Amino acid sequence: MLNYWNKLSIRWKLQISFMTIALFTTVYNRIIAASQIKGMIEHVEQHQLGAEVISELEEEYRAFIFNSFWETGLELIILFFVISWFAKTFVKPVRSLEADLINIEKGDYTKPINISTEDEVGSLAHHLDTMRQQVNRLLSRIQNSTVHITQSSFNINEISHQLETIAESEQKRESDVMQAASRLSEISNNVQQSTSDTIACADRTQQQAASSKEKIKSGIDQLDVI
């Protein structure tokens, strides 16, 4: 029974509570009124005020008992609709707050919470709306930070790509410089070899010229003797 009661909405809890109070109050008042009429009948019988008076009181008592049933039923029906309207009016701000909280639960922090009253429910709605605004600002900051981080990551990737391109270019230049230095070294060696060959050839030529000169001088000397 307690579990069933806990599952009921606030509106039905209020309605059932007020209807129970109204039922007990109405039945209690009817019982008190019936006991008072019954007491009057007993008082009349004790003082023997006349059979006609007793008969009228008993008739009134029976009529009261009979009318109490349908009057109580009619009062309870009227009270049911009146209490239902008041309970619905009382629960309406709670329902509105519940709908707003469902939107927040779905992730919509942009829609403001409707504050229609200035009572405890209105105060609760105000505090929840303040919390919603703070969460919305926090999410906006997180989103902006995410955008900045994404942009920074893109810039870092672009810079890394440029550095890789520059490194490849420098590596290629270094390779070209090394190849050029190797060629220059080879050319230098060739030039040195050519220079050495030329010097050796010049020495041989000079030696040959000196030998020829000696031969010519010797031939001239022989001619002078003749």
Q: Tell me if 188 is assigned to some domain.
A: no
CB 41 within 8 A of CB 10: no
DSSP for 169-185 reads HHHHHHHHHHHHHHHHH
pLDDT at 53 over 80: no
pLDDT at 76 over 80: yes
Q: What's the farthest any 2 CA atoms get from each other in the chain?
A: 216
Q: Tell me if 216 is assigned to some domain.
A: no
Same domain, 14 and 88: yes
Q: Give pLDDT, residue 146.
A: 78
CB 103 within 8 A of CB 111: yes
Same domain, 78 and 114: no
Q: How many domains does the chain have?
A: 2
Q: pTM of the full predicted structure?
A: 0.48
> How many Å apart are CA 122 and CA 104, to the nearest integer?
17
Over residues 63-73, mean pLDDT: 79
User: Could you tell me the residue range of the domain that residue 156 belongs to?
Assistant: 109-183
pLDDT at 6 over 80: no
Q: Give pLDDT, residue 48.
A: 65
